[in-house]
Structure 1
């Protein structure tokens, strides 16, 4: 294996006051897309999704008190540089490949959030993404460490304000003056009363409804443990977090910065369950009041425009997407699907019955041809009645069964829920957008930092730096293009990327740098084994579910009825003639094996979701690290303890 030494940075950057360092590190500690989705995740599944908060906070503590001090002691500026110093540049390059994949996936989620926020403000999402991409590239290239740290600290303050201000207003609206982070417990009994009313009136869909304070309705104990461990290990080796906390250059200072980071992030995480509770109180209040579909609550408009809320399977985003299809040449309802650019819109369109499609097409044609037409008014007056009647909602009233809000969509609804002036929404999104910009710059800087280990040293030829800038910009551009495909996968993309980080980096970074007997061969094997297994499991369960299930049927937790249905679909596929019929049967087989949000699939190991594959990959990586290291000679000295 090729060995190459990477010298330590000659001069450490100036160390900021611990609070400022903590604020800056907190802004880089975890993807903003997941923070934005946390209140919505808890709203959807109640206490089950507190696992997200627990996993994120545990990861920051683990990274701050254990992993980052190791980097600070070594003088390394990043995890890949520390691996290069200890094991050589080959190991660093393998780790860099994992980092690139992680950054790509996270950028997809961040740009998807930008698209949603822009649509909520009725601004073209593509323009907002291009602007965010340009600002991210310029900021990553032009801002020095000190200035970037200050910008990141300000962004975290704005992000906190964008969550805490709506929380304070909602709490005051519900219960008057008080401290919302502790007083929101009073909402639980009120929510329980509203849940009983919804159940008694038959207004719920049991596939999506769950009691707010009931545990293990949406997740099994095994699912919850897997999610917590995956997030904790992924955040613990999250490259931007480690680089920011380790910039203190001294282990004690790094631990102090890590403590500040954990404390500050904890305040933000504590706001998520409180926001979810107050939002559920507001939403369930509207549902139990027999709200007519012709007079929807104003807080639904922003998430509807963003495509992150639906009523009877339709949204304003679907109507606007169909109008764009009409503008680009669709002259019949059947021709709209092929011109829809958004995967979520295509899925929604395919799920509509033919009569509803015709109604939506007519409204879309009006929206596309009449300049003064309002998408929101057309949606309420034309689209919703048709969709409601098709679903058997003769009363044309809003119900929990009719309403679906994606996790990231709830945050867009909060400003209007407070009853504050409409100007509050742009201000809230400004704070959220500043945090997204810092995260984009952070991820870009992470890619640029790979230069120190992947292309030898900073003082190398200038074309190497230019090449890396081009590669980083290309990765960001690819992520921007992918982000417009399906905003509903935002949370899955973040969890999957952190899972890959845990699988590919945790054994080598957290264990390999601490264990003196670890070797370069062991670290390389751990990275390949961990990342490879994580990618195989996630791709297999999502992209090739039928083939994955048939490879590992004994490990699946599928029920007997599910297996019988799968076998029946398999027979249909085998007997179908080549062509469209064969393709349709294969698609049905894959869909059944993959499952949905409300129906478990067959393609899994013991029911574990593909996004949390690190629960399998990290132990495998650690075992491989130990086994291979014990069989190969140690060639480098361990990092200082």
Structure 2
């Protein structure tokens, strides 16, 4: 066993032990604790949990790789992920979360069911399950990448280990166990991300602040990129045209504001005021990673262009060979590494070069390999592996709870057995969680793309299904149940059909007007808005009491109508 593997096993074992202990200490015996942690999590801790829940394996593992190595190797194009995900969080925190928290329901289907109708609740359950399973596929795939490539454990075995850990603390502790585990996971992942970034920044630029230091290398990176046939690293619209930049950014942004596993986090706060402070803390915690990612991408890209390109296979650094051995560095299209033009070296070139590229580097390895690329010691490499697993498992657990609560609360308790006591509801919730983990494991073993691509698709589905129903449910009192249900069904169906048609793993079609499937969620969202508004004009309006409640939740204070609704009064 290598020194890297020893350190990695050590960090993973210690962090997994902490997660299991915290879950055991936080185990719950009632539905309030299982679904929303009893609504008593302090704002700073809740903010850290929100950040861990929201910053998935895509943020930790893939985002820097997308910025550095995405289509045409252009850093500017990767900014769609930075702008979309962070902008969406601000939108969620300001536009939706406080009002949903005041409305007082556990889940998005619960909100839709109370605001609109029971039919709407079932549609929302279906959408929540679809979005969450697509999203969780990316997380479990990320777990497999880490185990396979840093611990030399079979990728499928790695996914099974991740499933087991999540099963333990999610089934046992519910939202309460997940929340406090996610506080620990955020601590692990942010330390693991910042330490190598600070070390490499100091080494390359002499500035220990990555967000400042990487500005010093951009000119050199632009020059090298052009020489090797890439567009300038900072050139606008080289990776995506303006239309796709806008559509992908919007899909990620509005999808973030409609993610069920993030929205439910605001119910774990003590009150509306605490929910707002939780959002502020979360934004700070998120910014620590998101402002660092462009620096990590730039440092790694510069190192690759200078030290990997133009070296013979035998002279490539050790990290290159290790990732090549597991197939995540290969020739174009997954072919074996070959000196195609017989010049004695391997070339890493862009589409604009007359020299053929002979190296394909998977987006998902960049952050995991960055300590080695920067020449950092084995303990840092092990710490990064533990951070990647923390990011993947924290989001996976939140998504699985959404699936569990949607089935146990919105289907079983609200539709099948309203008289079920706390014990039966908890049992059904835990059984649903266990079943969801099995499906998640299968999707992690057979994902439809690389980690960030899969996650981006989930955001598009969330934008196309939930965002219009939530916004109109809060800000348009005359939005009807039939309109919301028709909009959600149409939005998610059209978006799923487009993705199935255009994704290379499925239909591989050309699509409409060159719209990338990751950006089609924006189109689906606009269709959803249109259908909802049109159908609402011709169907039965909400009751006067419900319209009054919608007005009241947008104003400070606890009004009588809001209080009656919280106590379970029927306002339809």
- What TM-score, normalized to structure 1? 0.73
State how far apart, in whole Å, the 2-side matches of 1:180 and 1:144 are: 37
Partner of 1:178, secondary structure, is coil
Structure 2: distance between partners of 1:101 and 1:633: 29
The aligned residue for residue 247 of structure 1 is: 268
Decide which of 366, 384, 399 is 1:443's aligned counterpart. Answer: 399
Larger gyration radius, structure 1 or structure 2: 1
Contact 2:488 2:528 in 1 (8 A): yes
Structure 1: gaps of 5 or more residues? 1-6, 314-346, 353-382, 546-589, 595-602
In the TM superposition, what is the alpha-carbon distance from 1:11 to its structure 2 partner? 10
Question: Can you list the C-alpha shifts for 1:580-638, whole angstroms capped at 9, x where unaligned?
Answer: xxxxxxxxxx76xx3xxxxxxxx222211122221211111111111112211224414
Take 1:128 and 1:11, find their aligned partners in 2: how far apart are those partners? 29
Cα pair 2:197 2:295 within 8 Å, conserved = yes
Alignment match, 2:345: 396
Match of 1:279 among 291, 297, 300: 300
Q: Tell me which residue corresponds to 2:26.
A: none
1:93 counterpart = 2:53 = no
- 1: CA distance, partners of 2:496 / 2:346: 44
- Quote the Cα distance in structure 1 between the aligned partners of 2:208 and 2:367: 22
1: distance between equivalents of 2:38 and 2:468? 28
The 5 Å alignment of 1:203-602 reads: 204=228, 206=229, 209-248=230-269, 250-287=271-308, 290-310=310-330, 312-313=331-332, 348=334, 352=335, 384=337, 387-388=338-339, 391-400=340-349, 401-450=357-406, 451-457=408-414, 460=420, 466=427, 469-485=430-446, 488-542=449-503, 594=509
Deviations 1:48-76 (A, max 9, x none): 21111000001111111111112111111
Partner residue, 1:572: none
By how many angstroms is 1:294 displaced?
Answer: 0.7
State the 1:38 CA deviation. Answer: 0.8
Q: Report the CA distance between 1:8 and its aligned residue.
A: 11
Shift of 1:446: 1.1
Q: 1:521 to 1:249 in 2, by over 3 A?
A: farther
Distance 1:297 1:487 in 2: 31
Q: Does 1:131 align with 2:161?
A: yes
Higher alpha-carbon deviation: 106-115 or 420-429: 420-429
Q: Deviation of residue 281 (structure 1)?
A: 1.7
Pick closer, same or farther for the CA change 1:279–1:631 going to 2, 3 Å: same
Give distance in 1, aligned partners of 2:171 and 2:433. 11
Comparing 410-419 with 55-64, which one deviates more in the overlay? 410-419
Q: 2:530 aligns to what?
A: 623
- 2: CA distance, partners of 1:454 / 1:513: 23
Per the TM alignment, residue 403 of structure 1 is displaced from its structure 2 partner at its CA by 1.8
Residue 543 to residue 425, structure 1, CA distance change in 2 (3 Å)? closer
Verify the 8 A CA contact 1:60 1:261 in the aligned structure 2: no
Partner Cα separation in structure 2 for residue 83 and residue 544 of structure 1: 33
How many positions carry a matched residue from both structures? 500
Distance 2:366 2:176 in 1: 35
Other-structure match for 2:21? none
Distance 2:447 2:496 in 1: 20
TM-superposed CA distance for 1:95, in Å, is 0.7
**Secondary structure of the structure 2 residue equivalent to 1:47:** coil
Distance 1:127 1:91, change over 3 A: same
